[in-house]
Chains A and B, each alone.
Chain A
Amino acid sequence: MARAATSKAASSGAGPLSNIKPYSASTDEMLRFYKDMLLIRRFEEKAGQLYGLGLIGGFCHLYIGQEAVAVGLQSGLDANKDSVITGYRDHGHMLAYGIDPRLIMAELTGRGAGISRGKGGSMHMFSVDHKFYGGHGIVGAQVALGTGLAFAHKYSEDGGVAVAYFGDGASNQGQVYESFNMAALWKLPIIYVIENNGYAMGTAVERGSSETHFHRRGESFRIPGIQVNGMDVLEMRGATDMALDYVRAGNGPLLMEVKTYRYRGHSMSDPAKYRTREEVQDVREKSDPIDGLKKIMLEAGISEDDIKGIDKEVRRMSNEAADFAESSPEPDVAELYTDVLVGSY
C-alpha cells in the first residue's frame, strides 16, 4: 500500500539506480504539477458525478489518489520522442499530457466530439499526436504492446523511450514476462511502471501475488527494479529522470514499482467492501499527493492566493469539460460504419 516513505532500488549495487532523489522543482514547475494533479482530481470527481447521473455508461475507472504518478512521470518525458501506453485507468495519463479535458470528458459521455469520436469510451482513448497509445481494456495487453513501442524506438533509432504503465494485478499476467524476456534480450528502451495501488480489482496484493515486492519481478530477466513513493510527485519525477538516464544510455529495460493508492473503487460499480473506510481515510490524511505538494509549496513561499487561483481555474476547466460533454451531440449514425478498416477493398 501507499505508506512507502522512501523510494529504493531493488538490485543492490545497481550504480546509477542506487539513490533516488526528489526532484528539485522551480516555483513554476511546482505550480504546474499542482495544477495538473488537481485537474485530474477535479475531472475524475466530475466524471464520477456524471456517471451517477447516467451520462457516462459502462466501466469507468477513476484515478483519484494516483495523480502524482502520471504527472510526475510524464513531466519528465520528451514529448517529441517518448511514448506512453497504459491500461483502462487512463484519464489521468491523458490529462497529464495536457490533452483538452473537454475531448476526454466528451469521450466518456460517448459524444461525437470525443477524442475517439465516441467509439472508444473510458477505456479506449488515444492521442497519437502526443505519442499516447492508449487506453487498453485487456489487463496486461499494454505491456506487450508497449514493448512493441520500445521495439519501434530502437528500430527507428529515434532516441525515444517507451513507458508502459500497468497495475499490480496485471503483473500476474503471463505476457508481462514474455515481454520482459524479449525487452531484456534485445535491450529495448522501456520503463515498465507498475502502479501498485494495493488492490487488483477487489483482491488485495497479498491475496493475489506470491511476490508482493513488484520491483523484484524483473530479476529473473536481469531487469533492475526500483521502488518509488508514488504519493510524492517530486519523488516520482526524480525517479523518472534517473530511470530515463539509465534507459536512454542503452542499458535496456527498467522496472519501476510505484507505491500508490486509489481512493475510489476499482470502477464506479465497485462498492469496495474489501477494505475499510478507515484505511482510505488514513491514506487521504497522511499521504495525499496534492496536499503533500501544497505543503511544500507553502513552505517554499508560494502564496495561498496563488494556490487558490489555481483551484478556481481547475474547477472552471472541469466544469467546462462536463458542460461540453453533456451538451455536445452523440456521434452521427453514419459513424457506426466508419473506421472499421482504413482501406476500401
Chain B
Amino acid sequence: MAIELKMPALSPTMEEGTLARWLVKAGDAVKSGDILAEIETDKATMEFEAVDEGVVSELLVAEGSEGVKVGTVIALIAGDDEEQKPNAAPAQAGAVTEPPASSGPSLRGNEAPVTKPMAAQAVSLEGGTPTTVREALRDAMAEEMRADPRIFVMGEEVAQYQGAYKVTQGLLDEFGAKRVIDTPITEIGFAGIGAGAAMAGLRPIIEFMTFNFAMQAMDHIINSAAKTNYMSGGQMRCPVVFRGPNGAASRVGAQHSQNFAPWYANVPGLIVIAPYDAADAKGLLKSAIRCEDPVVFLENELVYGRSFPVPDGDHSVPIGKARIMREGSDVTIVSYSIGVGLALEAAETLAAEGINAEVLDLRTLRPLDKGAVLASLAKTNRMVVAEEGWPVCSIASEIQAICMEEGFDHLDAPVLRVCNEDVPLPYAANLEKLAVIDAGRIVEAVRKVCYR
C-alpha cells in the first residue's frame, strides 16, 4: 500500500506553507532520515525528512507551490513491503528517463494554494501595498535604522537566524553585525544592556523572542527604563524599544501564552503599544523608535503572517491615538491587537442581525486614548470590550472603570468585557479553544448590552 506523505506542520502556528524544493523525484528509493523536500513555514525554511522507507512513486505538489495547507498529500511512497522492494528500487532510481515530475504535481498543486484572508481582516485603508505584519515591522526597523545610526537591534536569534519569527529578516545583511546583534539566552542581561545603552544616548531595539521571556527582564523594563526620567528630575532619558510577540500563540501551553499588556500598562513612565494590522505595526513601530520615552511594543504571533495594505513611503502613526476601524451607531466594541480582528468579525455577524457596531482599536494602551473611548460611548451608549487576555485587572476592566467614572451619563447598559477564561492556558486543542476569546462570544455580549 502506498504511504501518503502529508504537508507537515512545522511550527505551532503554521497552517500552510510553500513547498520550496523537492530533493527527491519519482522512482527514488528513500530511507528514514533522508531529506525529501524543503518547506518554507511562516517562520523559516525547514527540511522535511522521510520517516518511512520505500520508493517515491509520485510527487503530487510541484515545487514552488505556495499556500499548501497542512495535511495536504504531497507525495506517495510505495512501502517497503511492496513487490518492487529489493531490486526494483535501484532499477527505478537509475531510470530517470521519464519521471512525470512537473506535469502531474502541478495539477494537484493548483488546488492547494489559497491565500487566506481572515474573515473581517480586510479593513480597507486608503490603499497601499499589501504587506504582512511581519514585513511591516521589519520595514519599520530598516527604514529607521537607515535614518539614524544610533539605532541597533539586539536579541536572541535576531541576526544570523534572521529572527525566531523572521521579523528581523534581512537586517543583518543590510546593517551588519555591529547593529544587528545576537545575544545569548539571557533576558535580564540584555534588557539591562539595552536600557544602559539608551541612557548613554543610543537607540536600542530589544527583541524578546516572546514577552513570556521578558518576565525575566521586567526589572529593567520597569525599574530601570520606566522610572529613570522621573527619578532623575528629567536629566536622564531611556529611549529604548522592547518588542516581541505577546499573547496566546497556538498550542504552546500556559508558560508561552500570556498577554502582558495590562502588566506594562500599569506602569507610569512607559509607553505601551499593541498594534493590530500591518499599517499600524509599521507606523507605530516607527513612532516608537523615534520616541524619547521607553516603549513596550506588543506584537502578536498569530497575526505576523496576515497581510494588510500599508501606505507607501514614510508611514508613521501617532502614539496615544485610538482609531475607529468600523463606524457604527448601536454599540461600541473596544479592542486592541488580535482582538480587533475578532471584533470586526463580530461586527459583520451583528450587522446581519441589524445591530450596527462601531469597532474601536485602542492601538496604544498607555497613554490610553480615553477621549476616543468616551466619544464613541457618547455616540452609541453601549460598550463591549474584547481582550485576548485574562479578565482580572485587565485593559478591559480599565475601560469599564473609565466609562463608570467619566461616561456614566451616556451608559444605557453596563459595559461588558469579553476576555479569555480566567485559567492558565491549557494545551489540549479543545480546551484551548474554550479558553480563548472568539467572535461568537463578542457577538453574544453585544446582544446582551443591546438587550436583544
Which A residues are within 8 Å of any B CB, using their own CB? 83, 85, 114-120, 124-128, 133-138, 141, 143-149, 151-153, 155-156, 174-175, 178-179, 181-182, 185, 338-343, 345
Contacts and interface: CB of A to CB of B under 8 A. Distances in A.
B195 A341 contact: no
A144 B292 contact: no
Contacts of A146: 196
Given A175-B188, A340-B229, A340-B269, A144 B202 contact: no
B97 interface: no
A124 B220 contact: no
B149 to A, nearest CB: 9
- Judged by DSSP, the binding face of A is mixed
Contacts of B186: 178, 181-182
A138 B319 contact: no
Given A178-B186, A343-B292, A134 B319 contact: no
A117 B197 contact: no
B189 A144 contact: yes
Given A133-B236, A179-B189, A152 B196 contact: yes
Interface string B37-80: 00000000000000000000000000000000000000000000
Contacts of B198: 148
Contacts of A149: 196-197, 199-200
Contacts of B269: 340-341
A341 B230 CA distance: 8
Q: Which of B228, B271, B318, B364 has the most CB of A within 10 A?
A: B228
A179 B230 CA distance: 26
B336 interface: no
B199 A155 contact: no
B200 A182 contact: no
A155 B202 contact: yes
A178 B235 CA distance: 28
B184 interface: yes
Contact of A141 (B178, B223, B293): B223
Nearest to A164: B196
Contact of A124 (B192, B232, B237, B268): B232
Given A117-B234, A340-B229, A155 B367 contact: no
Given A149-B200, A339-B230, A181 B189 contact: yes
A18 to B, nearest CB: 30
A341 B186 CA distance: 28
Contacts of B189: 144, 147, 175, 178-179, 181-182
Interface in B201-252: 201-202, 219-220, 223-224, 228-237, 239
Contacts of B271: 341, 345
A141 B202 CA distance: 19
A146 B200 CA distance: 10
Contacts of A144: 188-189, 191-193, 195-196, 220
Given A144-B188, A179-B189, A152 B202 contact: yes
A309 B201 CA distance: 42
A204 B233 CA distance: 36
A5 to B, nearest CB: 35
B262 interface: no
B390 interface: no
A118 B319 CA distance: 29
Contact of B231 (A124, A148, A185, A343): A124
Q: Which of B199, B202, B320 has the most CB of A within 10 A?
A: B199
A152 B318 contact: no
Contacts of B233: 114-120, 339
Interface of B: 152, 178, 183-184, 186, 188-202, 219-220, 223-224, 228-237, 239, 268-269, 271, 291-293, 318-321, 364, 367
A116 B235 CA distance: 8
A287 B141 CA distance: 55
B193 A151 contact: yes
A147 B235 contact: no
Contact of A119 (B184, B191, B231): B231
A341 B188 contact: no
Contacts of B219: 138, 141
- Top-6 shortest CB links A-B: A148-B196, A144-B192, A178-B189, A117-B233, A345-B320, A152-B200
Contacts of B194: 148
Nearest to A121: B231
A67 to B, nearest CB: 25
A151 B196 contact: yes
A148 B235 contact: no
B231 A181 contact: no
Given A134-B236, A148-B195, A178-B186, A341 B200 contact: no
Nearest to B179: A155
Contacts of A117: 233-234
Nearest to A148: B196
Q: Which of B184, B224, B268, B318 has the most CB of A within 10 A?
A: B224
B117 to A, nearest CB: 33
B231 A83 contact: no
A114 B231 CA distance: 11
B192 A341 contact: no
Contacts of A181: 184, 186, 189
B285 to A, nearest CB: 15
Contact of B201 (A127, A147, A152): A152
Contacts of A338: 234
Given A146-B196, A151-B197, A341-B269, A185 B184 contact: yes
A182 B188 contact: no
A338 B233 CA distance: 8
A126 B236 CA distance: 7
Contact of A128 (B220, B235, B292, B318): B235
B448 to A, nearest CB: 34
A329 to B, nearest CB: 15
A115 B364 CA distance: 33
Nearest to A339: B234
A145 B192 contact: yes
A33 B302 CA distance: 61
Contacts of B231: 116, 119-120, 124, 126, 134-135
Given A185-B184, A342-B292, A138 B223 contact: yes
B197 A152 contact: yes
Contact of A136 (B183, B224, B237): B224
A115 B320 CA distance: 31
A343 B197 contact: no
A336 B352 CA distance: 51
